[in-house]
A = this chain, B = another copy of it.
Amino acid sequence: MSNNNEIKIALKSWENEQTRFNKVLDKISDETLLQEVAPAKNTGIYLLGHLAAVTDAMMPLLGLGQKLYPDAEKIFITTPDKAGQAMPTAAEVKTMFAKVNTAFSEAIKNMPEEEWLHKHNSVSAEDFAKEPHRNKLSVLLSRTVHQAYHGGQISLLV
């Protein structure tokens, strides 16, 4: 069996996560998305924006292109929820999530499979020589798990 199969499994895991996540998201109205997932916890809109921003950041990290929403990092990653930042509307954040995921899916569709085994852009060539598991595939896996974590929280709004 070739490397290809392991790579396919990881890509399939990402796709499955997107499908599952979008099924949940389709059941959440814009109004409900503004609510906290549990009392005094993050709002659905913040978590959705956070996931969109994290996927968008994979574009430069994996050498796939520029971010679509460079401002999202400040609003949804470096600033915590309910810290007074100006926030797009729920509909805008849903659109952002969909656009980022479409762009990312398109970009990885055109990526040669062996490229997944290359280093990602936040590891130096020296470190990668010592730690060859710090490749693009490991980034995708870690983001899949990260989305599932917050996806479980957002699903509480259904």
Chain A interface (Cβ within 8 Å of chain B)?
A: 1, 3, 5-10, 12-13, 16-17, 37-39, 41, 117, 132-133, 135, 137-138, 141-142, 144-146, 148-153, 155-156
Contacts and interface: CB of A to CB of B under 8 A. Distances in A.
Contacts of A145: 13, 16-17, 144-145, 148
Nearest to A2: B3
A16 to B, nearest CB: 8
Contacts of A137: 6, 9
Contact of A133 (B8, B142, B148): B8
Report the copy number of this chain in the oligomer.
2
A37 B152 CA distance: 11
Contacts of A7: 6
Contact of A9 (B39, B141, B151): B141
Contacts of A135: 5, 9
Contacts of A38: 37-39, 156
**Cβ-closest 9 pairs across A and B:** A6-B6, A152-B152, A149-B152, A38-B38, A148-B148, A38-B156, A148-B149, A145-B148, A152-B153
Given A13-B145, A146-B148, 18 more contacts: A3-B3, A3-B6, A5-B132, A9-B10, A9-B133, A9-B138, A9-B141, A10-B10, A10-B141, A12-B138, A16-B142, A37-B156, A144-B145, A145-B145, A145-B148, A148-B152, A150-B152, A153-B153
